[in-house]
Structure 1
Amino acid sequence: MTISLEALRRCSIAVDLGAARTRVYLRRTGLIVDEPTVAAVNTHTGGLIAVGALAERMTGRTPEHIRVVRPVSNGTVVDIDMAQRMLRLLLGNKLRRAWRRRPLVSAAVCVQHDADPLAQRAAVETLTGIGAKRVELVDTLIAAAVGCGLPVERPEATMIVVCGAATTQVAVLSLGSIVAAERVPVGGETVDHAVVQYLRNEHALMLPSQAVRPLQLLLKNSADGAPAPPSTEVHGRDVATGLARTVRIDVGSVRSAIRTPLTGVLDAIGTVLRRCPPDLVADLADRGIMLAGGSAVLPGFDTMLREATGMPVNIADHPDVCAVEGLGAMLDGKVQPLLLDAMVS
């Protein structure tokens, strides 16, 4: 897909519909929505009970007549109607107060690099259903690179790794375009699953979904060199008896368990580098790799990439909002196009 900066400047909002979080950027205003992509539905009436953070807290704690759903999976809208209803509630009065008498004309949305026509159509229909008259599709990799402050318009190589909840995208960019890109089904959810499986196999303990993220924070502190205990207590349910049980686990063993699924990202980086011209690969030896996305701060992830590739690895200042911030910068006209005039002999 091609990006027209002129067309993007006519857009009023930018939307990043991620599998984990939904973010909306309002032109000349900033980020107005940053909520989990979750909705809670009453199965008897079909009505929405909650969306965003409140709905996420209901996960695993609802009675039979309440169902917690995620309308976006693997970066693709899988339930258009539910995504539209969720967005209407998330925007709500925020958008009405911002617009006043000015109608919503057009919108921009991030889509994955290799999104098929059905995925692109689902993203377009989701936004047209909430009032957008025109929808511009922008590659997530380019939007995230702009949000990280990378000089994507220059004739130099920049490598970005966008780590999402369900997938990780790797790309090398030059002259404002993608030279080579690869996507692997590895993300934050994969790491969560690895932690749950480790505790189930090694300690016969079923870990609640809400307890995975605090454990990751503990692992991150120990990976950053901060003082952290060698072991910690985890509360869960015994696999055999079904009763509540507390076990003490080794932090180092859990950190080793989550490194295994992350090796898929290394394979993707190698594939992308093999597709690039040698001159661009030489640029990356000095410029290194930029990590973006909500899962870029996974414990020890940057260290593993640095050791495996031998290249510098940096994490964006605000990795979770890079894509929507980059898209917002395009809407606000902060990105200037690269003009290549034909030479006349």
Structure 2
Amino acid sequence: MTDSLEQLRRCHFAVDLGAARTRVYVKGAGLVVDQPSVAAVNMRTGGLIAVGELAEQMTGRTPGYIRVVRPVSGGTVVDIDMAQRMLRQLLGERLRRTLRRKPRLRAAACTPHDADPLARRAAVETLVGLGAWRVELVDTLIAAAVGCGLPVQRPEATMIMVCGAAATQVAVLSLGSVVSAERIPVGGEVVDHAIVQYLRHAHELVLPSQSVRPLQLALSGTGLTPEGPARTEIHGRDVATGLARSVHVDTATVRNAVQAPLTAVLDGIGQVLRDCPPDLVADLADRGIMMVGGSALLPGFDHMLRAATGMPVHIAERPDVCAALGLGAMLEGRIEPVGLDLDSVST
């Protein structure tokens, strides 16, 4: 048993602060929070109006004095005070009281693989503000791999792709550590933006902010694959008149618009494989790539990767919560990775 894993087992709760969603795992209670990382603030008084799902519904629908903010960007806390306030609201008074009763409260948090010292410190300070005496930082790649059941502790290669809202992380793991990794600044938000720009230029249509979701909007069925539906109906606002309008869009052209930014992900996979020892690359020929993260559910994304790489591509059973579940498994002592790479910060 490693010292770092022993420290994790002493933690009382874990937080996965993502750009899209925030998840909190409490030891003994499981996943207790799974909400959008959004807060609505009254700019006149500074008061917090709503957080999570309710705040996300307010996006694009508020008067001027109400601002909808996202305190997390790309897996990094960019507004510590707002992140603390958002987490307090999401946890609720009852759960906060329960956690405060713990002597020397300990917490764990995910951080991106390439997070700089300032980003790591921001994650620590956010949880310290919730009352944590000690904070353990865990690489998101390791946590996600554990959460989807990959044998990260074995001396064999496993390849994981964490598809987030702001970025995609690709890595090869062995013996509980990251052998090679790349961060590609392409995520679900970039795909959304590509669809918005295509519809604006090709059809002079502006989409409502709440409708910019390729899973439910422009891509249905098998989405990115040619076997998907030939045409789909899109509702939005006419650029010239400002009136509501519907258009029928050829999904083949939408596929082309979406695949352009996703090409960068293929380049990242190639770079990771080039940086790996040949023996580990040979292991991946059979095991392939495991996709996790909310954007892994983009229809046809796995088919595209399979066709481009010639490797098996799998999507985790619950891809959006793998990192939080991985942290939970470590807290509960259900796994003993070898050589787990953690950084702990004592306060």
TM-score norm. by structure 1 comes to 0.93
The 1:225/1:184 distance shift into structure 2, 3 A limit, reads closer
Q: CA deviation at 1:236?
A: 1.2
Distance 1:220 1:244 in 2: 22
Distance of 1:51 and 1:267 partners within structure 2: 37
Matched residue, 1:146: 146
Q: How does 1:39-188 map to 2 (within 5 A)?
A: 39-96=39-96, 98-99=98-99, 101-103=101-103, 105-188=105-188
Q: Give 1:30's aligned residue.
A: 30
CA distance in 2, matches of 1:233, 1:220: 11
Gapped runs of 5+ residues in structure 1?
A: 340-345
Using the TM superposition, give the Cα deviation of residue 324 of structure 1 relative to its aligned residue in structure 2, in angstroms: 0.5
Q: Per-residue deviation at 1:119?
A: 0.3
Q: CA 1:159 to 1:77, structure 2 compared with 1: closer, same or farther past 3 Å?
A: same
Looking at structure 2, the residues matched to 292 and 43 of structure 1 have their Cα atoms a distance apart, in angstroms, of 37
Counterpart CA distance in 2 for 1:90 and 1:104 is: 22
Alpha-carbon contact 2:223-2:229 (below 8 Å) kept: no
Cα pair 1:12 1:104 within 8 Å, conserved: no
Deviations 1:238-275 (A, max 9, x none): 11222222211122221221111111111110001001
1:318 — aligned with what? 318
CA drift of 1:97 comes to 6.3
Q: Label 1:104 to 1:208 Cα distance change in 2 as closer, same or farther (>3 A).
A: farther
Q: Report the Cα distance in structure 2 between the residues aligned to 1:15 and 1:100, rounded to whole angstroms.
A: 16
Q: 2:234 — aligned with what? A: 234
8 A contact 1:73–1:166 mirrored in 2: yes
Partner amino acid, structure 1, of 2:194: A
Q: Deviations over 1:21-69 (max 9, x none)?
A: 0000001210000000000000000000000000000000000010000
Amino acid aligned to 1:302: D
Whichever residue aligns with residue 4 of structure 2, its letter is S
Cα distance in 2 for partners of 1:97, 1:205 equals 49
Aligned pairs, how many? 338
Q: Tell me whether 1:253 sits opposite 2:220 in the alignment.
A: no
Instruction: Measure how far apart 1:304 and its partner are.
Output: 0.9
- CA–CA distance in 1 between the matches of 2:240 and 2:217? 28
- TM-score (normalizing by structure 2): 0.93
1:228–1:94 Cα change, 3 Å: farther
For structure 2, which runs of at least 5 residues remain unmatched after alignment?
A: 340-347
Relative to structure 1, is the Cα distance of residues 97 and 225 closer, same or farther in structure 2, using a 3 angstrom cutoff?
A: farther
1:300, distance to aligned residue in structure 2 (A): 1.4
Q: Which residue of 1 aligns with 2:206?
A: 206
Quote the RMSD (CA, aligned, Å).
2.0
Distance 1:207 1:337, change over 3 A: closer
Q: Is the 8 A contact 2:218 2:254 kept in 1?
A: no
Report if the CA contact (8 A) 1:155-1:175 is conserved: yes
Give, in whole Å, the separation in 2 of the partners of 1:3 and 1:318. 29
Cα distance in 2 between the residues matched to 1:14 and 1:241: 49
Q: Which moved more, 1:90-99 or 1:198-207?
A: 90-99
Q: Provide, for residues 142-170 of structure 1, a one-character-per-residue CA deviation record: whole Å limited to 9, x for no partner.
A: 00000010000000000000000000000
- The percent identity for this pair of structures is 73
In structure 2, the CA distance between the partners of 1:299 and 1:215, relative to structure 1 (3 Å rule), is closer
